[in-house]
Homo-oligomer: A and B are copies of this chain.
């Protein structure tokens, strides 16, 4: 039976653990926060607890580092310094940027990955074995080709769709598909906050504003290292967005709505395509 190690029992680590146990794996976990481990055991996400990262690595066949970006780099650095003999057959991370991970020291048998799933609320209490159902799960094709079949098998066992992507290209793409939406949501929430003092502004918010502020509830602690690791690609996407916004606004000042209205068709096609893809039922196979 597969022994799966999880470093970090938050939303992603906890969801992986729940799914793996449901598939018959034994899950061993380590988290720097003992209370998180207790909650993870109460939720039925883990079988046993390791006392540190080294013990965790020594006891499992596959190891998942499910930590924020900066903590992921530290953990991989620590693993890279351990005796190769204790390392698992496969180690993966799930961090939201891939070039910064690939650039640092990583242990033997390592593959960088990134599941395109999440929630605005983190933590083990939000974990869900179906979190990855039908989602894309990107991985950076490993130089060690023998690692590719097991990493794909792991992703498929999570109910997700494996997608090989170059690390730098991955980061450029998620600057648009993930980091720009996050930044827009935060800046919109801040513009609302700045206008909300002593007026009727809050009362005149409806479900539209609400849906645009969902991402703004994500914690700084998760986002600061992501933004730091992907600052330039994100800045490029922001500048492109700002240029379009200003061009459209200049038209509106002159009573010309055609600039804005011309984007509705493309935008709806994007939204419809995404809705269709994300609502597709998951392929799935048990993880054992």
For A238, give its contact among B116, B138, B228, B246 (CB under 8 Å): B246
Q: How many copies does the complex hold?
A: 2
A: interface residue count bin: 35 or more
Within A181-197, the residues touching B (CB, 8 Å) are 181-196
Please give, as numbers and ranges, the residues of chain B lying within 8 Å of A196 by CB-CB distance: 270
For A191, give its contact among B186, B210, B212, B241 (CB under 8 Å): B241
Binds B, one of A13-21, A43-51, A52-60, A214-222: A214-222
A192 to B, closest residue via Cβ:
B270
Q: How far is the CA of A264 from the CA of B185 in the complex (A)?
A: 9
Does A273 lie at the interface of the complex (its beta carbon under 8 Å from any beta carbon of B)? yes
Binds B, one of A70-78, A99-107, A255-263: A255-263
A179 to B, closest residue via Cβ:
B208
Please give, as numbers and ranges, the residues of chain B lying within 8 Å of A274 by CB-CB distance: 202, 205, 209-210, 213
Contact B248 A245 (CB under 8 A): no
Does A178 lie at the interface of the complex (its beta carbon under 8 Å from any beta carbon of B)? yes
For A188, give its contact among B138, B211, B267, B275 (CB under 8 Å): B267
Does A82 lie at the interface of the complex (its beta carbon under 8 Å from any beta carbon of B)? no
Does A41 lie at the interface of the complex (its beta carbon under 8 Å from any beta carbon of B)? no
Q: How far is the CA of A188 from the CA of B176 in the complex (A)?
A: 9
Q: How far is the CA of A57 from the CA of B119 in the complex (A)?
A: 49
Q: How far is the CA of A95 from the CA of B253 in the complex (A)?
A: 22
Besides A181-B209, A242-B249, 9 more A-B contacts (Cβ < 8 Å) are A163-B200, A169-B200, A176-B192, A189-B267, A202-B273, A216-B267, A217-B271, A231-B257, A239-B249
Seen from chain A, the residues whose Cβ lies within 8 Å of a Cβ on chain B are 116-119, 135-136, 138, 161, 163, 165, 169-170, 173-174, 176-178, 180-196, 199-217, 219-220, 223-224, 227-228, 231-232, 234-235, 237-242, 244-246, 248-250, 252-253, 255, 257, 260-261, 263-275, 277-278
The 8 residue pairs across chains A and B that have the minimum distance between CB atoms: A189-B267, A116-B206, A238-B249, A235-B252, A213-B271, A216-B267, A190-B263, A193-B266
Can you pick out 6 interface pairs between chain A and chain B where the beta carbons lie within 8 Å of each other? Answer: A173-B199, A177-B204, A206-B278, A216-B264, A228-B257, A232-B252
